[in-house]
Chains A and B, each alone.
Chain A
């Protein structure tokens, strides 16, 4: 029997899929820009250098101000959906709809037992949970681990046929097609959602306006103190989920979804054709498509605890995938910029530029400016100052001295808001962490051209604590 089609989006709406990484028009524009830059650098190197530096400096100023504005908004007003305990107590089991839970697994046999425990621990009637463990057909070890354990009621295994591309969204699309719930949520294998999360989401959807089809839970880590990398990672996540995304929600802006714990209303998600199986940050892409289709996403005040990747090589691979996915998402939606502008509106179009394209751009150009700064400070290469005329110098100095501080300080503020008080001091040495992100960004750009659909799996299970 023929199963559900996991590539529905790329077949029916190819213009929304990253199946083709770059369209012909994008290739032409990219080559023209590249040719222009090279010609400029050859014919008038100083003028061209000044223009490039000025563009980057303006970007830095805009990005710094933008992030500062988001943080200011998020500390000034609460825009996330908060569900008081009393509201939870008022819920009766018979009022609760069926809730589909999708858990894609791939080569993660060690996480299965804990995963099942975590989902069982969710405070939701067992007969209304519709849990699908999405297992790849050729993943013998995970299948064996699942087969070896007793599955509680409401759990079932869905096998994902072996086919290209081998990505998480492809598995989720099959899960979506077979889902029976009114609402649907995605969890990763190592996730530990707060027990009342599903009930909060149900209430959240009921009190939200009709356009809201997605609630994004906050993500954070249960192993922040494992090593320095996990401390930085936690600081970053705290800033992202506790400051930036609530800031975006306060602006009613487009929200790039986080990888897991996105709660959806199933029917409109199906109408959006699910996830893009070719996009390696399918969640971010879906967040944009939700907005473009006229729907909205809101933040839900509940946390899912995950395992922070504590080993550098795996962290680099994970970050490479994320940044490559952001690049894919940016290029997919920028295929028709005028249409995007029309559908998002000007302010959200700008949000998209800064938040999706700007993020990758920043990490890519950062090392260039660090090298220039180092050359100037250590070797006093005065000729570099020629690249920074007047106002550009002033803006550049502001970014160097105020911008970098702002980002480190925001990380510290995020830790404080998350009540990770002991991590505040680690957030302050985050510039080293930014260096790692730039390494990943360059790797992401390289990989985008070499192997755009490669899904570098993040290995979990290194943290033995509870």
Chain B
């Protein structure tokens, strides 16, 4: 016997069937779009890095392990997802793993939005279908290009987190609590800035428990269930840094790297609809004394504020996921306004729907990682470097530094190019005695500026570093000759 009433089971089955149909339709539409327009989607630099990273991890190489945990700006969850998809789908085809993960995450985002809209908005999915479609469209193309995996995952997790927090605030259900904790855990491993934002949700829950006069033991239990996943992942990450990189704080060494200016004047305006939704919801929530609405409004505005801080710090590239998350949360605020208990008149709900469409459209104008010239044909680069260094000595090795170096190494001669995620001058000399050694360093733009090479050798690009002499430059990539390690006794055959 199933204790659920029959009509509920039937409705659940109908609903499940509808969701499956929606997902299938989404997959078919996206597949068709992929086939039709694949020539218009250029793979981003991030896609190539993630793909290469996946191959290194699957090969169980030291560089793969280092890359998996070595930087907060290349967090592990998107890498792991792409790696797993890579293992399943292989690197065959133009899109490969990135599309698989992108489609999955786009599906998750659409599914969650669908559930939420069905619950909150009269008319349900039919009324807001364009909103959901528009919302998913842009990040999907980013994912197809490879750059949207973290963006989509972060947006989906932030949506899950906020929705769970709202549900917790309204029903104190265990399910909401667990989902909230797990979403927080996911955010830590997907986008560190969003993890900071998650602290605000914890604050929300803490205050909420206090206001309800919950007992000490229960408050402690809720706190543990929420905080523990987050702390666990953070501690695990630290432990792996200690084990693999020899420094528990390694990944955090470049939390605030050198600022890189980005052209974000347009992106700033994309938040206007979300901001409108947040402000309107705040006003309505205060008027009707709806606690969860007030918190949601606060979170929407906090997200926008956090994004503004990133822009002000010149970290436009780090705010990519924030743009979409802010748009999603803005939509959430607008959907909340349409709830029955808010009591808005019908014409205003229609207006809200229109604002939601504008908001979803606006989310299409996002920031773009100012990926440097690493997207130039890597084969040309490695051929030029190889031509340049060969002939200088019979035994040569060229270390290629950083995450963006991984696909470069793959493009070149494996006997000549060596990947290096954690470049160390002395270790390099010890590893290849009798060789002439070079270091190929990527231009420190955007995220690349955060890599260990630049916090270990901060003046490398401007003045060179002790033991590394500037040799040549190709498309921003600079080649250094490692002079300090080539002592005469090492040079003897």
By the criterion CB–CB under 8 Å, are B221 and A416 in contact?
yes
Which residues of chain B come closer than 8 Å to A252, judged between CB atoms?
Answer: 2
By the criterion CB–CB under 8 Å, are A79 and B2 in contact?
yes
By the criterion CB–CB under 8 Å, are A298 and B4 in contact?
no
Report which residue of B173, B175, B220 has the largest number of chain A beta carbons within 10 angstroms of its beta carbon.
B175
Is A413 located at the chain interface by the 8 A CB criterion?
yes
- Stretch of A8-16, A137-145, A275-283, A422-430 that contacts chain B: A422-430
Which residues of chain B come closer than 8 Å to A377, judged between CB atoms?
Answer: 243
Contact with B3, one of A81, A211, A413, A425 (Cβ below 8 angstroms): A81
Say whether, besides A394-B83, A413-B174, A424 and B3 are in contact (CB < 8 Å): no
Which residues of chain A come closer than 8 Å to B392, judged between CB atoms?
Answer: none
By the criterion CB–CB under 8 Å, are B178 and A75 in contact?
yes
Interface on chain B toward A: helix, strand, loop, or mixed SS?
A: helix
- Stretch of B56-64, B95-103, B141-149, B331-339 that contacts chain A: B56-64
Minimum CB distance partner of A395 in chain B: B84
Minimum CB distance partner of B176 in chain A: A75
Which residues of chain B come closer than 8 Å to A388, judged between CB atoms?
Answer: 60
B138 to chain A, nearest CB (A): 30
By the criterion CB–CB under 8 Å, are B228 and A413 in contact?
no
Contact with B224, one of A79, A393, A401, A425 (Cβ below 8 angstroms): A425
Task: A250 to B60: give the CA distance in the assembly, Å.
Answer: 40
Interface residues on B, range: 20 to 34
By the criterion CB–CB under 8 Å, are A424 and B220 in contact?
yes
Is B236 located at the chain interface by the 8 A CB criterion?
yes
Which residues of chain B come closer than 8 Å to A207, judged between CB atoms?
Answer: 1
Is A127 located at the chain interface by the 8 A CB criterion?
no
Say whether, besides A388-B60, A421-B215, A416 and B225 are in contact (CB < 8 Å): yes
Task: A269 to B139: give the CA distance in the assembly, Å.
Answer: 58
Task: A409 to B224: give the CA distance in the assembly, Å.
Answer: 10
Task: A173 to B174: give the CA distance in the assembly, Å.
Answer: 41
Is B87 located at the chain interface by the 8 A CB criterion?
yes
Interface on chain A toward B: helix, strand, loop, or mixed SS?
A: helix
Which residues of chain B come closer than 8 Å to A77, judged between CB atoms?
Answer: 4
Against B, the Cβ 8 Å flags (1 = close, 0 = not) of A343-365 are: 00000000000000000000000
Interface residues on A, range: 35 or more
Say whether, besides A390-B60, A409-B229, A413-B178, A212 and B217 are in contact (CB < 8 Å): no
By the criterion CB–CB under 8 Å, are B1 and A208 in contact?
yes
Interface residues of A in 43-83 (CB under 8 A from B): 71, 75-82
Task: A425 to B4: give the CA distance in the assembly, Å.
Answer: 33
Interface residues of A in 417-442 (CB under 8 A from B): 417, 421-422, 424-425, 428
By the criterion CB–CB under 8 Å, are B229 and A413 in contact?
no
Task: A98 to B407: give the CA distance in the assembly, Å.
Answer: 76
Is A412 located at the chain interface by the 8 A CB criterion?
yes
Is B232 located at the chain interface by the 8 A CB criterion?
yes
Is B218 located at the chain interface by the 8 A CB criterion?
yes
Task: A405 to B57: give the CA distance in the assembly, Å.
Answer: 22
By the criterion CB–CB under 8 Å, are B175 and A76 in contact?
yes
Task: A252 to B175: give the CA distance in the assembly, Å.
Answer: 21
Contact with A298, one of B3, B59, B173 (Cβ below 8 angstroms): B3
Is A451 located at the chain interface by the 8 A CB criterion?
no
Report which residue of A71, A377, A390, A421 has the largest number of chain B beta carbons within 10 angstroms of its beta carbon.
A421
Report which residue of A77, A82, A209, A389 has the largest number of chain B beta carbons within 10 angstroms of its beta carbon.
A77
Which residues of chain B come closer than 8 Å to A424, judged between CB atoms?
Answer: 220-221, 224-225
By the criterion CB–CB under 8 Å, are A209 and B58 in contact?
no
Say whether, besides A409-B228, A412-B224, A390 and B3 are in contact (CB < 8 Å): no
Is A227 located at the chain interface by the 8 A CB criterion?
no
By the criterion CB–CB under 8 Å, are B58 and A394 in contact?
yes
Task: A416 to B181: give the CA distance in the assembly, Å.
Answer: 14
Say whether, besides A390-B59, A413-B225, A424-B220, A79 and B174 are in contact (CB < 8 Å): no
Which residues of chain A come closer than 8 Å to B232, judged between CB atoms?
Answer: 405
Is B177 located at the chain interface by the 8 A CB criterion?
yes
Interface residues of A in 4-30 (CB under 8 A from B): none
Is A391 located at the chain interface by the 8 A CB criterion?
yes
Interface residues of B in 174-218 (CB under 8 A from A): 174-175, 177-178, 181, 215, 217-218
Given contacts A209-B1, A394-B80, 11 further A-B contacts (CB under 8 A): A79-B3, A79-B4, A211-B1, A390-B87, A394-B87, A409-B225, A409-B229, A421-B215, A421-B221, A424-B224, A428-B228
Interfacial residues, chain B to chain A (CB-CB below 8 A): 1-4, 57-60, 80, 83-84, 87, 173-175, 177-178, 181, 215, 217-218, 220-222, 224-225, 228-229, 232, 236, 243
Q: Which 7 A-B pairs have the closest CB atoms?
A: A208-B1, A421-B221, A421-B217, A424-B221, A75-B175, A209-B1, A390-B58
